[in-house]
Chains A and B, each alone.
Chain A
Amino acid sequence: MGRERMRSPLGRALGLGSAKDGVEQWWLERVTAIALVPLTVWFAASLVVHMNGDYATAIAWLRTPLATTLMVLLLAALFWHTALGLQVVIEDYVHSGLRLPLLIAMRICCFVLGVAGILAVLRICFRG
């Protein structure tokens, strides 16, 4: 299913969407959703298999190249998807002047949390 097919034939012909990227956010929410299906299922299964509350076990698991790589990808996709999803929720229910500041604050929070999570994973991975 190509992204171009989401547009009307006229819109495609004129190249005039809503600023020419009208379906971008809708599309990216789906792309990140599909990425999150295997990533979150892997994470949940890993927690069940590897986690027993022991610190050393958790660190040993997080340090494996596979776990580090997938955790970074998971955090990136998760907070991207979260930002896009919360944006729709805010746009649907907040009609006051709070809407724009809330949208910006939400975006900043998602970005900060994503970076913090990825840095924590990398710190665990690379610490001597």
Chain B
Amino acid sequence: MASSTSQRMRPLSPHIQIYLPQLTSVLSIANRITGVVLSFYAVALVAWLMSAAAGPQVYSTVHGFIRSWFGQILLFGCTYSFFLHLCGGIRHLAWDAGYGFELRTIYASGWTVVAMSAALTLITWVASMGLAG
């Protein structure tokens, strides 16, 4: 019993920071990050509803903030996070149902998520500005 299995040097898998970012890994963590970000926006949604319930004065204060440049940046971040999480989530649901696991399909659906989330964000803002203006 010269060397037991526990004493021998075991091969280690490379740490996650060694890997180059890939579309698959980036979208995976992006879905999680946008999920966490959107939970903060969910708090803002409740605050907005409560301000509407509180009356016109409180509501106009909240809307003044939303309309400020900082509020608009936050709202844009919310829109993009939402559409990224929505498109990424639909991709995950397809996987959960057992579809789309071929490498080629994974990359095609991944780029579709990137393109669709950007397009939907843009469409939403253009439509919103068009209807408001």
Contacts and interface: CB of A to CB of B under 8 A. Distances in A.
Interface residues of A, number: 35
Given A37-B86, A48-B124, A30 B49 contact: no
Contact of B50 (A47, A48, A120): A120
A78 interface: yes
A113 B42 contact: yes
Contacts of B90: 37
B46 A116 contact: yes
Given A30-B93, A53-B67, A55-B60, A48 B128 contact: yes
Measured as residues with beta carbon below 8 angstroms from the partner, the interface class of chain B is: 20 to 34
B97 A117 contact: no
Nearest to B89: A33
A113 B46 contact: yes
B86 A79 contact: no
Interface stretch (B3-11, B15-23, B51-59, B107-115): B51-59
A124 B52 contact: yes
Contacts of A76: none
Contact of B59 (A55, A86, A121): A55
Given A78-B42, A89-B32, A120 B59 contact: no
A52 B132 contact: yes
Contacts of A53: 63, 66-67, 132
